[in-house]
Amino acid sequence: MTNTTGAQVVTMWELYGCGMEQIAARVAQELNIPLHGQAFSSEQVEESMARREKEGALGRFLRNLTPASLPTSSSGDAVIGQAQTVEDTTRQVTADVNGFAAEGGVILGRNGAFVLKDRPGALHVKLVGQTKVRVARAARLFGISEERSAKRQPLEDDFRRELSRQYFRFDPTTDDYYDLVIDTTRFNEDQVVAIIVAAAKARAA
């Protein structure tokens, strides 16, 4: 489909440890468009889950969660746990994603593939891979032990999936809203970047 909106948009979502931030930065550079990061970093997810572990973890955490695209602290870090309705959060995230899309760029997470599913010319990418490889890669990227990375993996994958389900009734682990699903354990980083850039250019033509 020809892009009639002007600004080039690529949305990306990953399973933990697929190297999305590094890949996205290179894609944005190759396409000469901005990079719009995830609402929550892995560190923020891990810290917040740890604080709420005694409260029953995921369920209560998600009920009290506010994405980092919403209020931020004076340092610019995400404020997690502020009270907002699901409707307020959904509206704000949708507005943020549409604002990023109007500017153009590579949009990480934020339910971008769902929010922009009807946007002409947008390319929606999901990164997947074998769990053991993803865990090892994340350990290297974040400078943590593989044991700690292995603990993060199911928590973060579950967190990001459940967050999407709660706010958008959207399961990002399904392939329905993606144009490309790339196994980053079968292609190296250079190859993944090349695939996405080529597809983005073709989609925008």
Per DSSP, the three-state class of 146 is: helix
Tell me the pLDDT tens digit for each residue of 7-48. 899 999 999 999 999 999 999 999 999 999 988 777 777 777
Say if CB 204 and CB 3 are below 8 A apart: yes
Cα end-to-end distance, the chain, whole Å: 8
Domains and CATH numbers, the chain: 9-41+86-204 (3.40.50.300)
Tell me the pLDDT tens digit for each residue of 68-110. 433 333 333 343 444 468 888 889 999 999 999 999 999 999 9
